[in-house]
Amino acid sequence: MQLKLEEILNSRVDGLTKGIPAGAALPLGDVGKQGWRLLEGDVPLPAAVLKKSAIEHNVDWMRRFTELTGMRLCPHGKTSMSPQLFDRQLAAGAWGMTAATATHLHVYRRFGVQRILLANQLVDPEGLRFILSELKRDPEFDFYCLVDSTASVEILRNAVAESGCQRPIQVLVEIGQAGGRTGARTVDAAMEVARAAHRAAPHLALRGVEGFEGVLEGATPDQTMARIDRLLDEMSIVASQCDALDLFADGPIILSAGGSQFIDLPPSLQSRLATKREAIFVLRSGCYITHDSSWFSEYAKATALRMPSISQLGAGLRPAIEVWAYVQSLPEPGLAIVAMGKRDCSFDVHMPTPFAWFRAGSEKPAPLARHRVLRMNDQHAYLEVPPDSVLQVGDRVGFGIAHPCTTFDRWSVMLVIDDDYRVVDAIRTYF
Amino acid sequence: MQLKLEEILNSRVDGLTKGIPAGAALPLGDVGKQGWRLLEGDVPLPAAVLKKSAIEHNVDWMRRFTELTGMRLCPHGKTSMSPQLFDRQLAAGAWGMTAATATHLHVYRRFGVQRILLANQLVDPEGLRFILSELKRDPEFDFYCLVDSTASVEILRNAVAESGCQRPIQVLVEIGQAGGRTGARTVDAAMEVARAAHRAAPHLALRGVEGFEGVLEGATPDQTMARIDRLLDEMSIVASQCDALDLFADGPIILSAGGSQFIDLPPSLQSRLATKREAIFVLRSGCYITHDSSWFSEYAKATALRMPSISQLGAGLRPAIEVWAYVQSLPEPGLAIVAMGKRDCSFDVHMPTPFAWFRAGSEKPAPLARHRVLRMNDQHAYLEVPPDSVLQVGDRVGFGIAHPCTTFDRWSVMLVIDDDYRVVDAIRTYF
């Protein structure tokens, strides 16, 4: 399917937007035609940019991964909140898009996403009104959300009943674990929710079982995996019991797990499940589209160890986000202050990783080793530099990032570059 | 002075903007006329909102503080990046606005800010081109930035010389401290920079001395104050030496320090300085406009101890930002999951502080004690609740925040509410 992107491509950008030069005033869709060079002073820095080649590689890699494993992909759009990137994900065969909030639903529907899995409880009256009006308006709209308590079932049931909507809200029972986030904490609790959802027909339709393993943490990696293993077991038990009791509504049973840290979980879940009815397995990874330079890179290594067959896919995901900024001060030995901060780049998992530098007049960026970000303020980074550092005031430093979600949300427009650091496109985000 | 806000007030908002309901499509300036009630499901949550009465109180309090102390106020606009709030700050007598980045300069100039102190080294060629074109275009534009090395002086000097601009860039020498951020590390180093700036006439004009105490940290509060004390001493020594050597260009000497943590520093600096020429003292606090519920509140208490005369001003700054969100799950005893996360609220200093709750049908929010945010994910908060917690799934919880800067930058539009939680206005931010 294709999204309706004209509104975005025709929307105007100018120097009020971080990353766009002062004199510019043009449609977003024309940004790539200006011949701007990222590192030659054509655009203000700091700038967080997307590497076009890496995005294309990652989207294609994930398409091949889901083909290899027989999974459906329902990428979490919260990562980028960019319909232009959603469009690439859907064009590469994604089953639908995952959302988290009411505003996400507004954005997805505005640009034409037809299948949405809200991987969250929906209790916001405004969001409920919107979803019900969309279900009434568009018979092709296919919507799912989570329930993890009889209270969340009641809120949905009442909203559908009061709206007069003739189609049900489709729900998945969420399974959680003690100390985790949302989700029923035991098989018994989950079955109580499932029965409540079944009883709420025709207003609700119980369609599957969901879990999110990404927030489960053990004291060691083995203990983390043991907790995740238990989550998958409980998900398959609940799905089997619901199947045996005929609690599921018509259609294939939907089993969904797997953020970007554990993309191999839906296949693992598949191998545990035996239901009368057909089941489909939905992976919700969002961060794969840009990957990163440290956090998810480590998870990818662990995934490859758990799932050797992944090597069939060749080179893995590549980091697709870089942040570039100027050295503004070298105030004392061993320290450079760079004009980039918490407003420009994620800092919630790891500090950004300097990997390249560029000086005006150079042909291309050169690798930068042995430099390290110590900390960041709102608009500054403290860079530890070795005694023989090449850096001078005015040089550009390129950083890899950790955690795409908390980098994307610092930019309303991100420039897209080719491998020669020419600006070839731009995306808009909706945070 | 008054800013040109028509472009903002006429700009359209709709459900693509976080905090605005799905069906709405209206000029930003009309948001306050819709009769939306924040807590009654008229708008999607989470929503970060500004309390109108607290903003007005804070702006007036700071006006009275600067009158009491004889300071100039040049609020750091990076806090809100909202020209509508800048306008209030300037209308209350602010001397100018402080900025941090090239894009800040674009925004400030677009809406008519006539005096800008860029409290940063300016090395970005795009930013330099813009500032020089503005200096050429508008003889009333009064611009200052920082230098802390001869390299930063050279970059500015060359840019002015090449531009053919007939007016100088006015500079302040920045004084820093070992282990701090930017700024010359010794009096000798600062004097070398000052002499270089003086020699760079007519392209540069040395106008003053600057320091930022907010990044200095000692092992104890007393050690922090000792470091700050030394910074102020060095600033006054450098200013006195530059004055004695006639390095300053025409006009009053500008001495600037003081973020929101230490608003009493410029007065303290004033008491140390003896120069032949008149000096003015510029406070750069930005966060005062919204204050907060924990971090800056603690600093305000310490300020009152250091400066008893502040009690003349009556009630101090009030927290003006609240974030409201739904309880989406009560998955296990002692835990509520709230639909608000790192995308909606600052988390870099302290977690947000739950202080009130509301249930549909209630007359008004009620206080909420003994609840505490344990941690946040991108879109979720983990709320520790007591055994007798009143909270049910679907209830609203109101949070105070720590660090306004990293809350503002998560919202492109923020709703403004009255004391009855009616939406009476909206502001746009430019991050």
**Per-residue pLDDT tens over the stretch B98-157:** 999 999 999 999 999 999 999 999 999 999 999 999 999 999 999 999 999 999 999 999
- A415 chain-B contacts, CB cut-off 8 A: none
Unique residue bearing structure tokens 């009442």: A158
CB A399 within 8 A of CB A353: yes
CA–CA dist A385, A43 (Å, integer): 26
Question: Which residues, in sequence order, are CB contacts of A287 under 8 Å at separation 6+?
Answer: A76, A79, A259, A260, A296, A403, A404, A405
Q: Is B128 exposed, middle or buried (0-12, 13-18, 19+ CB in 10 A)?
A: buried
DSSP for B289-304 reads GT--SSHHHHHHHHHH
A334 CB near a chain B CB, below 8 Å?
A: no
Shortest Cα distance from A203 to chain B (angstroms)?
19
3-state secondary structure of B78: coil
Please report, rounded to a whole number, the percentage of residues in chain B having pLDDT higher than 70: 100
Best mutation target among A210, A328, A391 (most B Cβ atoms within 10 Å) is A328
Q: What is the pLDDT of residue B251?
A: 97
User: Are the beta carbons of A358 and A39 closer than 8 angstroms?
Assistant: yes
Residue A358, token pair as written in the block: 């560029």
Work out whether strand A335-338 and strand A396-400 pair parallel, antiparallel, or are unpaired.
Answer: unpaired
- Rounded Cα distance between A76 and A121, Å, is 15
Instruction: Give pLDDT, residue A172.
Output: 98
User: Terminal CA-to-CA distance of chain B, rounded, Å?
Assistant: 24
DSSP letter, residue A168: P
pLDDT of residue A406: 96
pLDDT at A298: 87
How would residue B236 be classed by pLDDT, with cut points 50, 70 and 90?
Answer: very high
Q: Which residues on A lie below 8 Å from B409 (Cβ)?
A: 343, 410
The Cα A101–Cα B44 span in angstroms is 9
Where helices occur in A164-294 by DSSP H, the ranges are: 187-199, 221-244, 265-272
Q: What is the pLDDT of residues A283-342, one digit of tens each?
A: 999 999 999 998 888 888 889 999 999 999 999 999 999 999 999 999 999 999 999 999
**What is the rounded average pLDDT for all residues in chain A?**
96
Tell me if B24 sits within 8 A of A106, measured CB to CB: no
Task: Spell out the residues 6+ positions from residue B187 whose beta carbon is closer than 8 angstroms to its own.
Answer: B234, B237, B238, B241
The answer to whether B131 and B178 are in contact (CB under 8 A) is no
Tokens of residue B28, six digits: 């930003």
The confidence score (pLDDT) of residue A90 equals: 98
Q: What is the pLDDT of residue B265?
A: 84
Question: Are A23 and A321 spatial neighbours (Cβ–Cβ below 8 Å)?
Answer: no
Angle (nearest 5°) at CA A137 between A135 and A143 = 20
Would you tell me which residues 183-242 of chain A have a C-beta closer than 8 angstroms to some C-beta of chain B?
183-185, 215
pLDDT 10s digits, A214-248: 899 899 989 999 999 999 999 999 999 999 999 99
- Provide the 3-class DSSP secondary structure of residue B82: coil
> How high is the pLDDT of residue B377?
97
Q: B172-211: b or e for each residue (b if 16 or more CB lie within 10 Å)?
A: bbbbbbeebbbbbbeeebbbbbbbbbbebeebbbbbbbbb
Q: Which of A185, A379, A394 sits opposite B155 (nearest CB)?
A: A394
Q: Which residue of B has its CA nearest to A184?
A: B331
The tens digit of pLDDT for each residue in A368-381 reads 999 999 999 999 99
Touching B: A residues 18-37, CB under 8 Å: 18-19, 21-23
- CA–CA separation, B331 and A151 (whole Å): 11
Q: In the 8-state DSSP scheme, what is residue A31?
A: G
- Proportion of chain A in helix, strand, coil states, percent, rounded to 5: 35, 25, 40
Per-residue pLDDT for B1 more than 80?
Answer: no
Residue A171's closest CA among A189, A186, A149, A188?
A149
What is the full DSSP assignment across A389-423?
----TT-EEEEE-S-SHHHHTT-SEEEEE-TTSBE
Which of A44, A176, A183 lies closest to B103 in CB terms?
A: A44
N residues, chain B: 431
The predicted pLDDT at position A259 comes to 86
Helix A265-272, helix A221-244: angle, nearest 10? 50
Q: Does B366 touch chain A (CB under 8 A)?
A: no
Better-predicted residue by pLDDT, B262 or B24: B24
Q: Write down the pLDDT at residue B185.
A: 97
Report which of A179, A4, A156, A17 is spatially closest to residue A86, judged by C-alpha positions.
A4
Which residues on chain B are in Cβ contact (under 8 Å) with A377? 181, 215
For the segment B174-231, what is each residue's pLDDT rounded down to a tens digit? Answer: 999 998 999 999 999 999 999 999 999 999 999 999 999 989 989 998 999 999 999 9
Considering chain B, what percentage of its residues have pLDDT values greater than 90?
A: 91
The mean per-residue pLDDT over the stretch B272-287 comes to: 94
Predicted confidence (pLDDT) at residue B411 exceeds the cutoff of 90 = yes
- Is residue A400 a contact partner of residue A293, using CB atoms and an 8 Å limit? yes
Residue spans of chain A under pLDDT 70: none
- Which chain A residues contact residue B22 at CB under 8 A? 102, 105-106, 126, 129-130, 133
The secondary structure of residue B19, as a DSSP letter, is T
Please enumerate in sequence order all residues whose Cβ is within 8 A of that of B301, keeping only pairs 6 or more positions apart, or say none.
none
Answer for the pair B36, A126: CB distance below 8 angstroms, yes or no: no
Question: A342: which chain B residues are within 8 Å (Cβ-Cβ)?
Answer: 348, 406
pLDDT for A373 equals: 98
- Answer yes or no: is the ipTM higher than 0.90: yes
Long-range Cβ pairs for the range B158-162 (8 Å, 24+): B159/B125, B159/B128, B159/B129, B159/B132, B160/B132, B160/B203, B160/B204, B161/B203
For residues B285 and B263, the answer to whether their CB atoms sit within 8 Å is yes
CA B391 to chain centre: 34
d(CA B120, nearest CA chain A) in Å: 8
pLDDT tens digits, one per residue of B310-362: 999 999 999 999 999 999 999 999 999 999 999 999 999 999 999 999 999 99
Whether the model clears a pTM of 0.95, i.e. scores above it, the answer is: yes
Distance from C-alpha of A144 to C-alpha of A206, rounded to nearest angstrom: 10
Residues 6 or more apart from A377 whose CB is under 8 A from it? A341, A342, B181, B215
How far apart (Å, rounded) are the C-alpha atoms in residues A29 and A217? 43
Q: What is the pLDDT of residues B158-178, one digit of tens each?
A: 999 999 999 999 999 999 999
- The tokens for A364 are 């291309």
Which two structure tokens, joined as six digits, stand for B147?
């230098």
Give me the pLDDT at residue A390, please. Answer: 98
